[in-house]
A and B are shown apart, each in its own frame.
Chain A
Amino acid sequence: QSVLTQPPSASGTPGQRVTISCSGSSSNIGSNTVNWYQQLPGTAPKFLIYSNNQRPSGVPDRFSGSKSGASASLAISGLQSEDEADYYCTAWDDSLNRVVFGGGTKLTVL
Chain B
Amino acid sequence: QVQLVESGGGVVQPGRSLRLSCAASGSTFSNYGMYWVRQAPGKGLEWVAVIWYDGSNKYYADSVKGRVTISRDNSKNTLYLQMDSLRTEDTAVYYCARDNWSYARGALDSWGQGTLVTVSS
Chain A interface (Cβ < 8 Å from any Cβ of B): 2, 32-33, 35, 37, 39, 44-47, 50-51, 54, 56, 86, 88, 90-92, 96-104
Interface on B for A, CB 8 Å cutoff? 35, 37, 44-47, 50, 57, 59, 95, 97, 99, 103-114
Give the complex CA separation of A99 and B101 in angstroms: 12
Q: Which residues of A contact B107 (CB under 8 A)?
A: 35, 47, 50-51
Closest to A96 in B: B59
Known: A86-B44, A88-B45, A101-B44. Contact between A45 and B111, CB under 8 A? yes
Given contact pairs A88-B45, A98-B59, A101-B45, A32 touches B103 in the complex (Cβ within 8 A):
no
Is chain B's binding surface mostly helix, strand, loop or mixed?
Answer: strand
| Contacts between the two chains (Cβ within 8 Å), count | 72
Secondary structure call for the A interface: strand
Select from chain A the residue with minimum beta-carbon distance to B110.
A47
Chain B residues whose CB sits within 8 angstroms of the CB of A39 once the complex forms: 45
Q: Give the most central of A33, A39, A47, A92: most B CB within 10 Å.
A: A47
Instruction: For the complex formed, measure the closest distance between the CB of B71 and the CB atoms of chain A, giving whole angstroms.
Output: 17
Contact A101 B47 (CB under 8 A): yes
Given contacts A35-B107, A46-B111, A50-B104, contact A104 B45 (CB under 8 A): yes
